A and B are shown apart, each in its own frame.
Chain A
């Protein structure tokens, strides 16, 4: 149980284009989803917290206009990287949790390469 999927797993795009990453909870209703970014050989850095039906809460230093998060339903959250640049290339990972559960369940991650 508690499976989280992400799509796509890999994306390569040109600088200036927008990329959408989906995060789905497959067998539970996720009341909260988290988006992380991880650069090579570094730790996971929380970008934003997303609750179903409400606006995402962004961490300090994360541009909300560049990283658009939509938590449209209890099983789906999307992260859109707008006008992507090479410095946005990273490993983006989502996690999800549900009411009464302390554990965060991670998706498999999406590797983004901006050329």
Chain B
């Protein structure tokens, strides 16, 4: 089942912060975050594994709550280059889900000067 992302869209001014949430109805092994610019392929941001720590680099970080089957992506001091559609991809725990990602519907982030 497709994970649910919220919000559907966010509009920010440069320097503002944003949080994007990803929620799944099934047990997860990992959560992957990608950013896609219009007309381009998704670009990998980070992966969070079950039992792993919160990840982050520069001003983008993410957390993974395994019990709640939720992940959040945190963007701080946003830059114009952060604009795009953010997707979470979830990998189910065990069974035939191994290695396969199911993507959320996406969150459109727009950063204005």
Contact = CB atoms under 8 A, between A and B. Distances in A.
Contacts, number: 47
A10 to B, nearest CB: 11
Contacts of B106: 42-43
A102 B41 contact: no
Contacts of B92: none
A109 B40 contact: yes
Contact of B49 (A42, A46, A102, A105): A102
Given A49-B99, A104-B101, A44 B87 contact: yes
Contact of B40 (A102, A105, A108): A108
A45 B100 CA distance: 11
Contact of A97 (B2, B43, B99): B99
Given A43-B2, A46-B102, A102-B47, A107 B87 contact: no
Interface in B22-57: 30, 32, 34, 39-44, 47, 49
Interface of B: 2, 30, 32, 34, 39-44, 47, 49, 87, 89, 99-106
Candidate in B30, B32, B41, B44 with the most chain A CB atoms within 10 angstroms: B41
Given A43-B2, A108-B40, A103 B103 contact: no
Contact of A106 (B39, B43, B47): B43
Contacts of A109: 40-41
A46 B96 CA distance: 14
Interface of A: 32, 34, 42-46, 49, 93, 97, 102-109, 111
Given A102-B30, A108-B40, A109-B41, 11 more contacts: A42-B105, A43-B103, A44-B42, A45-B103, A46-B101, A46-B102, A49-B99, A93-B41, A102-B32, A102-B47, A106-B44
B101 to A, nearest CB: 6
Contacts of A111: 39
